Structure 1
């Protein structure tokens, strides 16, 4: 099975730009979006400002990716919690989220053969959240969102 996955922690706001979030936190994001910005591809227009700390390192389980993110965020927990609470006043869908995105059967992704005991790398299919991550999510009021996509080609239409 081919698996491509990544995780990120994000702060979203209708009115507070990512640059201001970074200044408040004293932590530069890995990625940002600007509400209402226009790009040539894709044609989506972000509905919110977004500040993200991301881990896209291949060959890591999701919990290992999250641990890398948490190493960077943990020293800023109090500031993140205060900012997330303020951003949450923008309305539903604003505030903080820990996002996990996984694509299964993506031919460009890492391959994991469960039947081969000599297969190199960790099993990317299982993961967990430890108490420190759960405490961080509680402290910051962050949601956990897990998106999983089956990229198996649909041969029925051929």
Structure 2
């Protein structure tokens, strides 16, 4: 099975701009969104967002660790920011199963001594320090998983 996966950390506010979040946190974002701008499809953004992302191929837990390593220098500021009821934080994991552009993972039945030669398996783990970071910063965890397997209709199979 081929999988594409990435993780990101996001600060969201309907009041505090992403530029102000950057100043207060002292960490540069990978992406920002401005409240009131128009998204694809014509929808207007209802909030400001500040975001860092890790899409390096590999295990989700490794991606999350790298995100937290980037945030750790601003942890005290992040704790202060998320104590403000106008700012909230979220750690998101997004995975697409059967993605044609994804990475191959060891197929079922692969001998255990050969599994180590494949990218990390489907499961992932959050370490105690990671959980402590998320808890101290009042960060929620959001996991979205999508199966892109072709349906019978997509494969041209019809009854």
How many aligned positions are there? 151
The answer for the alignment partner of 2:51 in structure 1 is 52
SS of 2:83 mapped into structure 1: helix
The answer for the alignment partner of 2:136 in structure 1 is 139
SS of 2:150 mapped into structure 1: coil
- Superposed counterparts of 1:118-133, under 5 Å: 118=114, 120-133=117-130
Structure 1 range deviating more: 106-115 or 134-143 = 106-115
Native 8 Å contact 2:106 2:121 kept in 1 = no
Which digits, 9 at most, give the CA deviation of each residue in 1:109-152, with x for residues without a partner?
11113344546442240110001111111111111111111111
Task: Give the TM-score normalised by the residue count of structure 1.
Answer: 0.87
SS of 2:20 mapped into structure 1: helix
Native 8 Å contact 2:31 2:52 kept in 1 = yes
Task: Give the TM-score normalised by the residue count of structure 2.
Answer: 0.87
- Using the alignment, how far apart are the partners of 1:153 and 1:56 within structure 2? 24
- Establish whether residue 110 from structure 1 lines up as the match of residue 103 from structure 2: yes
- Runs of at least 5 residues in structure 2 that lack an aligned partner in the other structure: none
- Superposed counterparts of 1:45-84, under 5 Å: 45-58=44-57, 60-84=58-82
- Using the alignment, how far apart are the partners of 2:44 and 2:118 within structure 1? 38
Deviation at 1:15, TM superposition (A): 1.0
Cα distance change of structure 1 residues 147 and 23 upon mapping to structure 2, 3 Å threshold: same
Aligned-pair RMSD on alpha carbons? 1.8
The answer for the alignment partner of 1:31 in structure 2 is 31
Larger radius of gyration: 2
Which digits, 9 at most, give the CA deviation of each residue in 1:47-78, with x for residues without a partner?
211111110112x1000000111111112111
Native 8 Å contact 1:62 1:124 kept in 2 = no
- Using the alignment, how far apart are the partners of 2:94 and 2:59 within structure 1? 12
- Runs of at least 5 residues in structure 1 that lack an aligned partner in the other structure: none
